[in-house]
Structure 1
Amino acid sequence: MTVYDYIIVGAGSAGCVLANRLSVDPSTRVLLLEAGGSDNNPLFSMPAGFAKMTKGIASWGYSTVPQRHLGGRVLRYTQAKVLGGGSSINAQVYTRGNARDYDGWAADGATGWSYADVLPYFKRAEDNQRFVDVYHARGGPLGVSVPVNPLPISEAFLRAGQEYGMPYNPDFNGARQEGVGHYQVTVRDARRCSTAAAYLKPIRGRPNLTVLTGAYSTRIVVENGRAVGIESVRGGQGEIVRAEREVILASGAIGSPRLLLLSGIGPADHLNAVGVKPIHDLPGVGEDLQDHLDLYAIAECKGDFTYDGYAKLHRTIWAGLEYLLFKRGPVASTLFETGGFWYADPAARALEWPDVQFHLGLGSGIEAGVEKLRNAGVTLNSAFLRPRSRGTVRLASGDPTAVPLIDPNYWSDACDRSAAIEALKMAREILRQPALEPFVMVERMPGVAATSEAALADYAYRTCKTDHHPVGTCRMGTDQLAVVDPSLRLRGIDGLRICDASVMPRVTSSNTNAPTIMIAEKAADLILGKTTLCAPQSVNTERNVLNILESKS
C-alpha cells in the first residue's frame, strides 16, 4: 500500500494550486488524484474552445433534478472532468467579487477570510499583464490579461453601457467593481491559462509529486476518527492509498459533498435512507448549495459583426490559421470578454455592492441549450449575484457510480425571481442604446412583444440556465451547520480538509474561478502551518484598501 504525506482529491482549479504549493518541499510526498483525463486536447488551450465545453467535452454530464420553482425544468449542470477542472473549461473571466463579499464571510464566522485577509492571496496567484498596484501583481503562476482584439461591437457595448448610466471601469478587481468594461481573462500569450497550465505543468517533474488521472475516488478511509486514506478505482482496479498527514478534498461544490456522503459523513437520516452507514453525523454536508441563474437577451445583428459567421467551414479554417500564425482572431477570443456590474436593488447601490453582472457573448448559441440564430447575433447574459435561494446535493443511492442529485432550488425565494427579471430588463435596455444601433437589428429573445412581467417570467422559466457557479455545500464557519472551520478542517474528523468552492459561506458577486484559486492559495499556508498573509487589519472596503496601502507606499 502506497503512503503519501498529502492526498489531494480533485485536480481542478483548487487541486492544482495545492499540488504546486504543498510539493515545494522535496521531502513531502504529495498525491494528486483526478477522475478525468489530461488536458492535451488543443481545444483546452484555445480561448474560444469554451464554446465546446458546455456541450459535453470533459464534463460529467450532470443535470439538476426538476426545479420546482421553474415549472419542473431540468437544467444541464456542467461540471469539469479534466486536469484543471473548471479553469480548463470555463469562459476564462477573471473577476474576484466585491470586498463586501469577503467581509461578509468573516462576519458570518469565517474568521481570517475578510477582504484584507484574502487580497494578498489574489495577488500572490497573479501574473497580470497590465496592472501592478495595490490590487494586482506580476510574477505569480496565473496569467491574467485583457482581450487581445475586441470586436467593434464590443467597443460599442462599452459606449452603450455608459449611455445607459454605467461608468466605464477598466478594472473590475480594483478600487471599485461597478461599471462597464472589458474583463480581465485567464489567458497568457493567447492561450488559456488554467491552473493545470499555470500551477501543475511547470512542476510535473518533481519526484515527490504523483499525479494520477482516471482515478475515481469512491470513499474516504476513516480510522478511529481520523481520515487516513482514499479508496479509488483506476483502470477497473480498486486501490487504497494512505495519507500520513492529511486528506484534502478539492473536488468542487458537487464532488466534495458527494464523496463525504459516500464515506458516511453527512446527515445521518439521508445516509440511512440511501443505504450508507453513517460514521459521522454532520448535517451541513450537501446543504447551502448556491448558484447564479442566468437570463439572456439575444439580438440579431445588421451584419456580420460577431463570430457566428465563423461556423462556415472556410472561415473556420481561416480562423485556425490566423490563430496559429498570428495569435489573434476568433480563436483567441474567450467569446465572453466584455461585460459589467450594476444594480437591481437600490439598497445595493447605496452600499456600492453590485448585485447584477452582464456578460456580452459575441454570437448566439455559444453555450449548450441557448438558441442559435440563422444570421449573426449577439447575446447579453444577466445574472442576479446574491441569490437567497438555497439548494442541496444528495446521493441517489449508495452506489459510487450513481449520479448525484443536484438541486439548486432556483427561485425558491421570490426575491431572486424579481431581481433576475429586473436584470433581464436592464440587459434589454442596454442593447437598445444608440451606440449599438449601427450593429443591432432587432431583439429576437425574449422578443419585442415580451413586455409584461408575466411574459418575461414565462420566457425565464423556459430559457434560464446556470452560470456554472455552484458553491457552499461544505460551508465554512463556526455554527452547527458549518462543515469546516475557518482553517478548512472538517468538523469532527481529524486529518481531513476541504479546499474548494464548496467552503464559500456565500457565493461571491462575480464568477467563482478566481476566488477558488485564492482559497487554495490561502489553504496551502494553513495546511503547512505558515503565517498567513494579510493586508492592514483596519481595511474593510475596497476604497479603504486603496487609501491605506497607497499612504504606506
Structure 2
Amino acid sequence: AAAQVGIRHNPDYNGASQEGIAMSQATIAGGRRMSTARCYLDPVRNRQNLHIETQALTEGLVLDGKRCTGVRYSVAGEVREARAGRAVVVSAGAFNSPQLLELSGIGQPERLRNLGIEVRHELPGVGENLRDHYVPRTRWQVGKKGITFNDRGRGLGLAHQVLRYALFRQGMLAMTGAPIRAFVCSREGLEAPDLMLGWIPMLTEPSPRGPRISRQSGLTLYAHAMRPESKGQVHITVADARRPPAINFNFLSSPPDAELTVRAVRIARAIMTAPAMTPFQVSEVAPGGDRTTDDEILDWVKKAAETTYHPVGTCKMGSDPMAVVDAQLRVHGIAGLRVADASIMPTLTSGNTNAPSIMIGEKAADMVLNAAT
C-alpha cells in the first residue's frame, strides 16, 4: 500500500537513508525490552564504588558559591546529603532536570525570587525550549477477521498470546507498540524526511484502568511532524520538590507544525485507502471521511492529538544566551555540574528519543572519565 502511494521499502532507516517504510527497530532482545537499568546497571550492581539509592526524592543541589558539591535528597522523610568529590551529573529528564535546577536557585531570577528561592546563578534558558512530538492517532476499522490483535489478543486469543510469549518469547507481548513505521517527505525537494507514521495493529478504547483492547477490529496509525518548531516551557510553581512543575507544551504554536501535521494525516489516509488495502475491508473511523478540508482535519487534530512522550530541550546545549549546558554538558557558570539526558537536546531528533538519550549517557560517561584522567 505504501509503495502504491510512492513510499519505498527501506530495510534500515538507521542506515544511509532514513526515508521509506520498514519494520521498527527497537531495544528488544529475546522478547524483553532492554532498558538502561537492565543493560547498564544490572551487570555492575555489585561494584564496590557504586551505591544505588531507591525510593529517594532529590530535593536540591548543594552549592558552594559557583560550584556544585553534592545533592540533597530525602528517603522516607529523612533528609540526607551525598557529597561529590569531582562532579554531580543530573539525569532527571526534560521535566525534572530543570525543576531541580530551579529548586536549587539556578534559572530565571525574577521567577525564583517570586517563589522565595535564593538566586544562586542566573540562567534564563532553564525550563524553556520544551519540544515534543504532538501526535494525532488516526483510527481504522478492519472488516476482515483474524488480522488485528483485536481479534487475536482478546479472550482466548489473549491466552494464546500469553502462552506463545511464555514458550517462545514471540507474539503480541514480545513486540514494540508500533511494529511498522514510515519516514516520509511532506513535499518534493527535501534532503531528508520530515514526517513520521507508525502502525499499531489494534484499536484501543478508554476504561477506568486505562486503555484496553477494543472489541472493534482495527488498527491505529499515528502521523506527525518529526522536527516541530513549537516550543513550550516547564517551570516550578512552588519551592517544593514534591510538587510537580507546570508543563506548557504550546503544541502547534508554530504555523508550519500545523501544516505538516495535516499533511501527515493526508499521507496516512492515502496509504490506508490504497488498492492493496482493499482485501482487508478497511474503513476510516477517525478523523472520519467527512473531515476533508485542512481546517476540518486540524480541528480534529487539536481535539484528539496527544504527546508521544518525547520531551526534550529544557536544559539545551549551546553557546547562545538561552543555552544551559556547553558542549561538554557542563552547566554554564556552575563548576562541577553536568546535565545528561534528553533535556540537553537543542531540537528534537528525527524519530524516537530513547536511543539518542542512551547515546547522550554514553557520551557523558566518556566526558566524565576523560575529565578525571
User: Hey, what's the Cα distance between the residues in 2 that align with 1:307 and 1:237?
Assistant: 48
Q: Secondary structure at the match of 1:319?
A: helix
For the 8 Å contact 1:220–1:260, the answer to whether it is kept is yes
Q: Aligned ranges for residues 447-466 of structure 1 at < 5 Å?
A: 447-466=288-307
Residues 472 and 501 in structure 1, CA contact (< 8 A), matched pair in contact too: yes
**Aligned match of 1:318 in 160, 174, 183?**
160
Q: Would the aligned equivalents of 1:358 and 1:380 in 2 still touch at CA under 8 Å?
A: yes
1:246 corresponds to which residue? 87
1:405 and 2:236 matched: no
Whether 2:115 is the aligned partner of 1:274: answer: yes
Q: Does 1:265 align with 2:112?
A: no
Q: Encode CA deviations 1:222-248: one digit per residue, 9 max, x unaligned.
A: 012111111111122111111111110
**Cα distance in 2, alignment partners of residues 209 and 440 from structure 1:** 57
Confirm whether residue 341 of structure 1 aligns to residue 180 of structure 2: no
- Alpha-carbon deviations, 1:172-193, whole Å to 9, x = none? 1000000011111111111111
Counterpart CA distance in 1 for 2:164 and 2:153 is 15
Partner of 1:305: 147
Question: How many angstroms apart in 1 are the aligned matches of 2:153 and 2:365?
Answer: 43
Which digits, 9 at most, give the CA deviation of each residue in 1:68-117, with x for residues without a partner?
A: xxxxxxxxxxxxxxxxxxxxxxxxxxxxxxxxxxxxxxxxxxxxxxxxxx
CA distance in 2, matches of 1:320, 1:481: 50
In structure 2, what is the Cα distance between the partners aligned to 1:473 and 1:388? 14
> What are the equivalent positions in structure 2 for 1:99-498 lying under 5 Å apart?
160-302=1-143, 303-310=145-152, 312-344=154-186, 346=187, 349-365=188-204, 373-498=214-339
1:32-71 maps to which residues of 2 (within 5 A)? Answer: none
Residue 341 of structure 1 aligns to a residue in which SS? strand
Per-residue Cα deviation, 1:27-79 (whole angstroms, up to 9, x for no partner): xxxxxxxxxxxxxxxxxxxxxxxxxxxxxxxxxxxxxxxxxxxxxxxxxxxxx
RMSD of equivalent CA atoms: 1.8
> Do the aligned partners of residues 388 and 272 (structure 1) sit closer, same or farther apart at CA in structure 2, a change above 3 Å counting?
same
Alignment partners' CA distance in 2, 1:448 and 1:351? 29
Q: Tell me the matched-pair count.
A: 369
CA contact under 8 A between 1:299 and 1:440: conserved in structure 2? Answer: no
8 Å CA contact retained: 2:94, 2:341: yes
How far off its partner does 1:275 sit? Answer: 2.2
Percent of counterpart pairs with the same letter?
38
Q: Give SS of 1:437's match.
A: helix
Q: TM-score, with normalisation over the residues of structure 1?
A: 0.65
Secondary structure, aligned partner of 2:365: helix
Amino acid aligned to 1:328? Q
Displacement after TM superposition at 1:436 (Å): 1.8
Is 2:273–2:282's contact at 8 Å kept on the other side of the alignment?
no
Superposed, 1:65-104 pairs within 5 Å as: none
Asked if 2 retains the 8 angstrom alpha-carbon contact of 1:364 and 1:370, the reply is no
CA distance in 1: counterparts of 2:189 and 2:360, whole angstroms: 29
Indicate the larger mover: 357-366 or 465-474.
357-366
The one-letter code of the counterpart of 1:454 is D
- Alignment deviations for residues 183-215 of structure 1 (CA, whole Å, 9 cap, x no partner): 111111111111111111111111211111111
For residue 297 of structure 1, give the secondary structure of its aligned residue in structure 2. strand
Kept after mapping to 2: 8 A contact 1:293/1:383: yes
User: Deviation string for 1:382-427 (max 9, x for gaps)?
Assistant: 1101111111111121122111101111111111111111111111
Alpha carbons of structure 1 residues 479 and 288: separation in structure 2 relative to 1, 3 Å: same
| Distance verdict in 2 for CA 1:427–1:372, change over 3 Å | farther
How far apart, in 1, do the equivalents of 2:205 and 2:176 lie?
11
Alignment check: 8 A CA contact 1:289 1:471 kept: yes
Structure-2 separation of matches of 1:452 and 1:334:
33
**Post-superposition shift, 1:167?**
1.1
CA contact (8 A) 2:23 2:181 kept: yes
- Give 5+ residue unaligned stretches, structure 1: 1-159, 532-553
Q: Post-superposition shift, 1:300?
A: 0.5
Q: TM-score normalised to the size of structure 2?
A: 0.95
In 1, are the aligned partners of 2:153 and 2:161 still within 8 Å (CA)? no
Paired residue secondary structure (1:170): coil
Q: 1:474 to 1:362 in 2, by over 3 A?
A: same
Paired letter, 2:75: R
Listed as ranges, the gaps of 5+ residues in structure 2 are none
| Matched residue type, 1:326 | F
Aligned-pair distance for 1:281? 1.0
**Which amino acid is 2:191 matched to?**
E
Relative to structure 1, is the Cα distance of residues 440 and 228 closer, same or farther in structure 2, using a 3 angstrom cutoff?
A: farther
Structure 1 stretch displaced more, 242-251 or 309-318: 309-318
Distance 1:342 1:516 in 2: 23
Native 8 Å contact 2:61 2:70 kept in 1: yes
Equivalent pair of 1:393/1:473 in contact (CA under 8 Å): yes
Per-residue deviation, 1:370:
7.3
Cα shift at 1:455: 1.8
Determine if contact 2:133/2:225 at 8 Å carries over to the other structure. Answer: yes
- Relative to structure 1, the CA distance from residue 180 to residue 526 in structure 2 (aligned partners, 3 Å threshold; closer, same or farther) is same
The offset of 1:434, in angstroms, is: 1.6
Question: Cα distance 1:363–1:424, how it changes in 2: closer, same or farther (>3 A)?
Answer: same
User: How far apart, CA to CA, are the structure 2 residues paired with 1:212 and 1:331?
Assistant: 31
The 5 Å alignment of 1:523-542 reads 523-529=364-370
* Deviation of the 1:367 alpha carbon: 8.9
CA contact (8 A) 2:146 2:152 kept: no
Deviations along 1:445-465, one digit per CA (max 9) or x if unpaired, are 111111122221221111001
Q: Check whether the contact 1:227–1:494 (CA below 8 A) recurs between aligned residues.
A: yes
CA, structure 1 residues 439+214, in 2 after alignment: closer, same or farther (shift >3 Å)?
same
Q: Is the 8 A contact 1:292 1:387 kept in 2?
A: yes
2:84 match: secondary structure: strand
Name whichever of 230-239 and 241-250 sits farther off: 230-239
- Partner residue of 1:110? none
CA shift in 2, pair 1:371/1:273, >3 Å? farther
Matched, 1:515 2:356: yes
Contact 2:154 2:213 in 1 (8 A): no
1:481-539 deviation digits (Å, cap 9, x = unpaired): 110010000001100000111001111111111111111111111111179xxxxxxxx
Query: 1:370–1:463: 8 Å Cα contact kept in structure 2?
Result: no
Match of residue 86 from structure 1: none
Secondary structure class of the residue paired with 2:161: helix
> How many angstroms apart in 1 are the aligned matches of 2:203 and 2:328?
43
Amino acid at match of 2:200: G
